[in-house]
A and B are shown apart, each in its own frame.
Chain A
Amino acid sequence: MEDIPILKVNNAEVIKKQKEKLDKLKKERDEKKVQAALDRITKAAEKVREGVYEKDYNLLALCVHAAESLATVGEMSLAMEKVFGRYKAEVQTISGVYLREYRDVGDEKEMETFRKENQKKLALIKEKVDLFIKEDGRRPRLLLAKMGQDGHDRGQKVVASSFADLGFDVDIGPLFQSAEDVARMALENHVHVVGLSSLAAGHLTFTPSLRDALKKVDLEEVLIIVGGVVPPQDYPELKANGASLIFGPGTVLTDAAIELLDLLLKRIKK
């Protein structure tokens, strides 16, 4: 793939600056006024939940007012969370789709070579999975994690469904997790691999923090792989920070599975 010029944002620097700005804001604003504005939001939220829709309880207007008093967006949403709770994204997946697609043999001639090749790959993957089970004692287990403010979970679902079809046990992590959340799930589920799905450009921040969090719970042996929208320019830095394999856009799922299994098998032999 040819190099596409990409604007690189130094995440650590941005976070630092943002935090400083927030601290400054919180020091300089009228705290009493902010709290009063936030309380009004909470109170209005209660009314709204009871079904009372009156002009005084217009949440948007109250949020504008709170913003004018220099409340942050986070504080406003927390004021409402007290009443409404936090949104929980339900994970729903189906399996069997990919296996069927790969196995399906149609009449079109131009598809035939493609399908034959895939049949071969599927057989190879099964062989490798079986070998892994024989050597390790357990089926290869993969946790697909989403970290930070990144709600794009279609890729996570596609990979989960297809890797399960290819013979992996796949754990699906909830959205918006911290490194510690992911490490805890990896620990309790005792996975061999954590796959970090990143589509909101957080990979350079999340990969090292995940590596550190895994180390903290004695899971250094767990492989980290990264998938999603990752520009090739970032590969070296990711690899230096704990990522064993990286799968960018356009990855063929079966190829990714083969690569991962080869690495897993190589590590057992060591």
Chain B
Amino acid sequence: MSAEPVGMAAKGSAVLRGPTLRTEGLVKSFGPMPALTRVDLVARPGRVTGFIGPNGAGKSTTLRILTGLARADQGYATIDAVPYAALSRPARVLGVVGDLAGAHPGMTARGHLQTQAALIGVPGDRVDQVLEESGLHTAARRRIRGFSTGMRQRLALATALLGEPSGLILDEPTNGLDPSGIVWLRRLLRSFADAGGTVLVSSHVLTELQQVIDDLVLIEGGRTLWAGSLSEFVSDHASLEEAYLSMIEKEMACES
């Protein structure tokens, strides 16, 4: 795995103009089950924004709406004030890591990346760059069905970075990554934001998240519970994890 994060190497001077990611008043139900009741979120350029909440809080649904994979019943989700589907070259604006199973098991890693590169209109040599920098170059000719969870995650990250985007949305990106992969990802996210890119990352690994995020959005039960800077949120608590548990417990006490 390259020491220099993917995208930065290709961008050279590493100056990015990250988009502002925003949702306002998102409401979404699946049949009679409300999934989101009001999610407001902003992720700004030059910042890494953590997106946290308990299982079933609505994080993945929010990210799917933000990336055009699902429709909101009410409210809106935009990338620089434009819905994802209205972007002319979305993969060049936003790289998305969502689902581990996003690649055909019968394809090789190179074949998958070549397909994605063609779909988004980037030259084929970008495939070799992301393979090298994500540490998958030695497995480029292997079929994806034989990949470990960590290798699939690296492939998902490589796919997200193919278009050299200026924004990243990552849903549980550390799933299955080994320690060196986690460190590489942390450096990538930090340098990406420092260069002006926008990062929105959802994770349950709060100790890891605390090391990289600047801002935080906490949702619970389909609505935004808290949004602001990490330092404000942690405040007089010892850690992000402690502050999170304290707030969730208070919320549950209020509900009961």
* A in complex with B: no
Taking Cβ atoms with an 8 Å cutoff, the residues of B that contact A are: none
